[in-house]
Structure 1
Amino acid sequence: MPAITPGTQAYSYPAAEQLLLAHEHESREMERYRGLALSFLPAYPHVGRLMASLGIECEQRSSALEALAEQLSLDQCLPTGPFRDSTLAGASQLHLFITDDVMAGLTLSHALTFAHYSRRFSELMARYGQLPALDAMLTQFIERKRTACQLLEEEAQAGAYAVPARA
């Protein structure tokens, strides 16, 4: 098999593609949660800590995927540094501070939407997986992502953030 460079060519091995997709997804999620943690920290520190802990979970999942890739001798398919997509690089550096309940409610709503998307993505990856070891790992990820969705839902309800009604 020729040398594989992430982002430059399609992989001929479906397991390598799945590992790369799962790793890129978790890396994006990690950066998103870290940005949310920074945004919430000044005015809503408890929500900032929740977002930071969800980001740490994403980082742990990325590390687990890297360990699996190494175990399967597929580590050449993963990027060596933190994932950087040029279209997301500028957006991930922009952090808006949450200053009121309306902003907090809207941001939590978006975070919850993305958390559900992330869970569904992992469910699809596991359902159509080509690699039993990855499928087993994704099944564990799905359970943690369900818990993350539940935590975000509970925070949105407990905080009773004022979300403006839509006309």
Structure 2
Amino acid sequence: MERYRGLALSFLPTRPHVSRLMAALGIECEQRLGALESLAEQLQLRHCLPTLSTRRRALADERRLHLFITDDAMACETLGYALAFAQHSRQFSELMARYCHLPTLDAVLAQFVASKRNECRLLEEMRDRTYRAAALI
């Protein structure tokens, strides 16, 4: 969620359409997090989730690297980076869905997997479109 928010800001000055995609993906992450928190609350496992301060500390290094995207090469590299993280997250969600056989989690994890697959597809399309545009220049 925080990563996508930072990327939305990075792309805003030169590629507002990519910025909007990153912002939308950040909102989807926030919704998934809300669903997970709600389920953890129902299962009385809220204490198992990382706290907000823990999540923010984990992303502190990324915030220091916040840059505005200034050219096509930087845009392509950054989209590749975002896609790699999304693919890793998708793979983790798929593993959780495959090996976590709790009926209360099945629907949530299936939704996470579908959402992450769509996220990867959108990022891949945006990266490919950016590569093609860079090649034309």
Report TM bin, short chain: 0.7 to 0.9
* CA-CA distance at 1:34 after TM superposition: 1.0
Q: Is residue 111 from structure 1 mapped to residue 82 from structure 2 by the alignment?
A: yes
Pairwise mapping of residues 5-154 of structure 1 onto structure 2 (< 5 A)?
30-81=1-52, 83-84=54-55, 86=57, 88-154=59-125
When structure 1 is superposed on structure 2, of 147-156 and 85-94 the one drifting more is 85-94
* CA-CA distance at 1:86 after TM superposition: 3.7
SS in 2 for 1:97: coil
Aligned-partner Cα distance in 1 for 2:97–2:85 = 18
SS in 1 for 2:44: coil
Aligned-partner Cα distance in 1 for 2:100–2:25 = 25
SS in 1 for 2:134: coil
Q: Name the structure with the higher helix share.
A: 2
SS in 2 for 1:90: helix
The alignment's TM-score, normalised by the length of structure 1, stands at: 0.72
Instruction: Give the conservation status (yes or no) of the 8 Å contact 2:10–2:68.
Output: yes
* CA-CA distance at 1:93 after TM superposition: 4.3
* CA-CA distance at 1:115 after TM superposition: 1.2
Structure 1, unaligned runs of 5 or more: 1-29
The alignment's TM-score, normalised by the length of structure 2, stands at: 0.87
* CA-CA distance at 1:79 after TM superposition: 3.9
CA RMSD of aligned residues (A): 1.9
Aligned-partner Cα distance in 2 for 1:70–1:126 = 19
Aligned-partner Cα distance in 1 for 2:109–2:91 = 11
C-alpha spacing 1:87/1:63, structure 2 compared with 1 (3 Å): closer
